[in-house]
Amino acid sequence: MASIPAVAPRVQINPGTMIPSFSLWKREVVRFYRQRARVIGVILSPLLFWIVIGSGFGRSFRGGAGAGEHYLAFFFPGALTMIVLFTSIFTMMSVIEDRNEGFLLSVLVAPVSRSVIVLGKVLGGTTLAAVQGLIFLVFAPLIGVHFTLTSFLLIALTVFLVAFSLTALGFAIAWPMDSTQAFHAIINLFLVPLWMLSGSMFAVKDASKWLGYLMLINPLTYGTEAIRGLMYPEMAEPNFPVGMDLAILGGFALVMFAIAFALANRRTTRPSA
């Protein structure tokens, strides 16, 4: 009796996610830096805001800066946070633009996981926001701040975590939307309050009791606090150690990415052509 040849099981190998994610990441970076007006605006707007607020209203907010500390120095981490915030959130407007142009639909029908979109888009926005924020650090010597290698690396890590979490938040907001106008309306509703209640303009200890509670539940507060503590270790009065701030930021980043991932993988979400 002739033996039946064994049939090897068919193993379906899903396409990898790294190359497609890298392609989306590269597309985000290249598209942003081709729009020079956006690059200039992202840097100059917070720079002007830092100078005007720090110089013009320094006396009014003197209490938040601490004894002997000029308000320009106190406000610098807040201006840095503003750059990261605006770049992270508004970069994700490209999700809506890609949907309306039909590009997102072509990616969705490709034989790759939807996690590719989340990873590529979020990493692209994170890279842009983190780079823009770190570029702003070149102005730090003007206020007498000089970094050690350790402090610079910790600041870079903090900026990356803030950028990653906010980019994931922007992705989660933009994913179900078809209109950039609706995106702007929702962002403007809480974008500025989110930043103002992060300890950027005044410290938690100088806020009223109920406002202080809101600031403590704002994850962005811990990013601003960590940057300020690393820049001025002898002047800052942190609510938590830098390690705790980074742990909270890391947890917030994971939660935001998980939400973005879950939204992108909902099969009921149907982007328009």
Domain residue ranges in the chain: 18-264
Average pLDDT over residues 169-179: 88
Share of the chain above pLDDT 70, in %: 77
What H or E segment, with its residue span, contains residue 146?
Answer: none
Handedness of CA 187, 188, 190, 196 (dihedral sign): positive
175, 264 contact by CB (below 8 A): yes
19, 25 contact by CB (below 8 A): no
The token pair at 251 is 């947890």
Residues sharing a CB contact under 8 Å with residue 110, sequence separation 6 or more, in sequence order: 20
180, 96 contact by CB (below 8 A): yes
Question: How is residue 208 annotated by DSSP?
Answer: -
257, 92 contact by CB (below 8 A): no
Determine the Cα–Cα distance for residues 100 and 179; give it in Å rounded to an integer. Answer: 9
Average pLDDT over residues 161-184: 89
pLDDT of 29 higher than 80: no
Q: What is the pLDDT of residue 67?
A: 38
Question: How is residue 194 annotated by DSSP?
Answer: H
pLDDT band with cut points at 50, 70 and 90 for residue 258? very high
Residue type at 135? I
Determine the Cα–Cα distance for residues 258 and 247; give it in Å rounded to an integer. Answer: 17
Determine the Cα–Cα distance for residues 142 and 75; give it in Å rounded to an integer. Answer: 13
**Nearest in space to 269 (alpha carbons), one of 122, 92, 108:** 108
Place of tokens 């959130």: 89
| Residue 62 buriedness (CB in 10 A; 0-12 / 13-18 / 19+) | middle
**With the CA atoms of 229, 231, 232 and 238 taken in that order, what torsion angle do they form, in degrees rounded to the nearest 10?**
-10
Q: What is the pLDDT of residue 110?
A: 65
Place of tokens 């407007």: 93
Highest mean pLDDT among 156-165, 177-186, 235-244: 156-165
Average pLDDT over residues 207-223: 88
